Structure 1
Amino acid sequence: MNVGIGLPIGDPALLLDWARRADAGPFSTLGLLDRLVFDNPEPLVALAVLAGATSRVRVQTEVLLAPLRDTALLAKQAATLDRMTGGRLVLGLGIGGREDDHRVAGVDLRTRGRRLDGQLAVLRRVWAGEPYGDGAGPIGPAPARTGGPEVLFGGFKPVALERVARWGDGFLAAAAPSRAGGLFDTVRTFWKEYGREGEPRIVAQVNVALGSPAVVEDARARMRAYYAFTGTADRMVAGMLTTPGEIRDAIAAFADLGADEVMLYCYGLDPAQVDRLADVL
């Protein structure tokens, strides 16, 4: 079972410390959220900096809101980062649900799912080295991984889970083990229906905070602010794991469900949490 760290978004200047600690520890991946109308770092830019400061861990968008971005430019950015990191990029993609993010990007919120499907067709074509189309030739550089970086999709609805089988390499599950098992099974069923070989890669996510009461409260306050738009922030914050036992139990539960990796997502800013989480493992 691989275990990664989801990075806090509250202070980009701290992320190099987080990344170096994780790279020196037992962690497999660094993940970073995406929003546009929020005080968070742009994930592709931030992860490029962190990749340059590390040598081993993968860097993962979790999830990048692809419909907010120009497709050709996204293809080039992702391929560049994948190539320059030797294939360490994992591109987690989703559609988002914030109206303000879509408004400032000039994208219709109601068509974001269809837009993402269209983008995936273009991304796969570009990463395969084929001409972009409409009189435009190929867009380089070629990614390190044949066919492009690993693509994971987040989501809960059937159309999002089916997208994993149609376009992706795996699934990002931001759900507790009690709910995640059904999502995993649905993804695997779609995978077989589409005739895909092997198994989809399954990456679970759980929110954690480990440290003093001040560290835990900082994490809760920041998570509550991030999800305030949903109207369910308090319920989501209540699910944050704050003890070594809770974290170990969650990792074990996801392992029993067949997850390949668990991302321990942190909202609190204290980088010493990386070392505490390493001790838990």
Structure 2
Amino acid sequence: MSSGPGTEFRFGVNEISPEADWPERAREAERLGYDVLGTTDHLGLSAPFPSLVAAAAVTTRLEVATYLTNASLWDDEVLAREIAGTDRLTGGRLSVGLHAGWTGSAATAALTPQDKRDRLAETVDVLDRLLTDPGHLPRPVSTPRPRLMIGVGEPEDLDLAASRADTVVFIGASLPPGGDLVLLGPDEFAAQVNTVRQRAAELGRSPELNVGVKKVIVTDDRKAAAEALRPAFAPHLTANQLLDLPTLFIGTHEEIAEQVRSGYDRYGLTSYMVLSAHLYDFAPVIPLLRKG
């Protein structure tokens, strides 16, 4: 597999500020050439679905996405209503990302990791049933339903994503109980991608493969930047390993563009989501990767 001029990449920005000016952020994302504006689903942050409606209202091309919805926080039928209504209000530009959830509320505190994975699988089943049912109201505009994204961080997440997702979102990190986010090393990340691709192929499926980018560092000294980042961000990895990860973009804009191409050649990744803090840092890379 080689990323020639015909490879189509999609780039998104994930807004995580609880006080974001959504119309302004959406206008800037569209102006800069991003394809998707996303929002996460954590208590204490902006309510995801109203935020996406506000973003779509001031743009014409920009897709919007929940990146990612915590399935454990929602009643499935309520979630189906929110998705269908938001899809209608955004003119069919909604993608729905789902995840088993690392954080929650008092109501979900007693759930084990397996409980959350079971809830996620149940949510996928219910949403597929309700959102494709002609009798369910409100009806989504998208057919047969909005794009479904499933986030994977642990090996136990891979089979569901491979078999059900339109887009598999590789978080590229795990969250041990009571600990901080731990980046997966290059070999671990490759193993997850290979498992998903093999399982999907067995089922005759070819989902879009997306990764959440944790940092974008524009520099002319990649090695020094990786070494400076390593102690606080990934002390278990070497600087060379950090430079080999698709979850970190480090280098000049041209070098970052080459990272994107390498991510396709090695993993089949065609979709990336950067954090809103890096909206302007990453934007100059986008035209370097557009066809023509």
TM-score, normalised via structure 1 length: 0.75
Percent identical residues: 23
User: How far is 1:48 from its partner?
Assistant: 1.7
Q: Which amino acid in 2 is paired with 1:249?
A: E
Please give the alpha-carbon distance, in whole angstroms, between the structure 1 residues aligned to 2:125 and 2:91.
24
Correspondent of 1:126 among 130, 134, 138: 130
Correspondence for 2:36: 29
Correspondence for 1:219: none
Correspondence for 2:249: 241
Q: Which amino acid in 2 is paired with 1:55?
A: T
Q: Which amino acid in 2 is paired with 1:265?
A: V
User: How far is 1:264 from its partner?
Assistant: 4.0
User: How far is 1:69 from its partner?
Assistant: 0.8
Q: Which amino acid in 2 is paired with 1:257?
A: R
- After superposition, where does 1:252-267 map in structure 2 within 5 Å? 252-257=261-266, 259=268, 261-267=270-276
Structure 1 pair 14–163 and aligned structure 2 pair: CA distance change class (3 A): same
Aligned length: 249
Describe the SS at the equivalent of 1:12. coil
Alignment pair present for 1:189 and 2:201: no
User: How far is 1:114 from its partner?
Assistant: 0.9
Structure 1 pair 167–278 and aligned structure 2 pair: CA distance change class (3 A): closer
Alignment pair present for 1:43 and 2:48: yes
User: How far is 1:9 from its partner?
Assistant: 1.7
Q: Which amino acid in 1 is paired with 2:58?
A: A
Query: Runs of 5+ in structure 2 lacking a partner?
Result: 1-7, 173-183, 220-228, 243-247
User: How far is 1:71 from its partner?
Assistant: 0.8
Correspondence for 1:142: 139
Correspondence for 2:206: 199
Correspondence for 2:120: 116
Correspondence for 2:175: none
Q: Which amino acid in 2 is paired with 1:184?
A: V
Q: Which amino acid in 1 is paired with 2:99?
A: G
Report if the CA contact (8 A) 1:97-1:109 is conserved: no
Correspondence for 1:215: none
User: How far is 1:80 from its partner?
Assistant: 1.6
Correspondence for 2:67: 62
Q: Which amino acid in 1 is paired with 2:151?
A: G
Correspondent of 1:167 among 147, 164, 169: 164
Q: Which amino acid in 2 is paired with 1:241?
A: F
Describe the SS at the equivalent of 1:191. helix
Query: Runs of 5+ in structure 1 lacking a partner?
Result: 131-137, 213-223, 225-231
Report if the CA contact (8 A) 2:53-2:89 is conserved: no
Correspondence for 1:216: none
TM-score, normalised via structure 2 length: 0.72
Please give the alpha-carbon distance, in whole angstroms, between the structure 2 residues aligned to 1:33 and 1:251.
23
Please give the alpha-carbon distance, in whole angstroms, between the structure 2 residues aligned to 1:20 and 1:274.
16
User: How far is 1:251 from its partner?
Assistant: 0.8
Please give the alpha-carbon distance, in whole angstroms, between the structure 2 residues aligned to 1:150 and 1:242.
30
Correspondence for 1:103: 106
Please give the alpha-carbon distance, in whole angstroms, between the structure 1 residues aligned to 2:234 and 2:271.
21
User: How far is 1:107 from its partner?
Assistant: 6.3
User: How far is 1:202 from its partner?
Assistant: 1.0
Once superposed, what is the RMSD of the aligned Cα atoms? 3.1
Correspondent of 1:158 among 155, 160, 181: 155
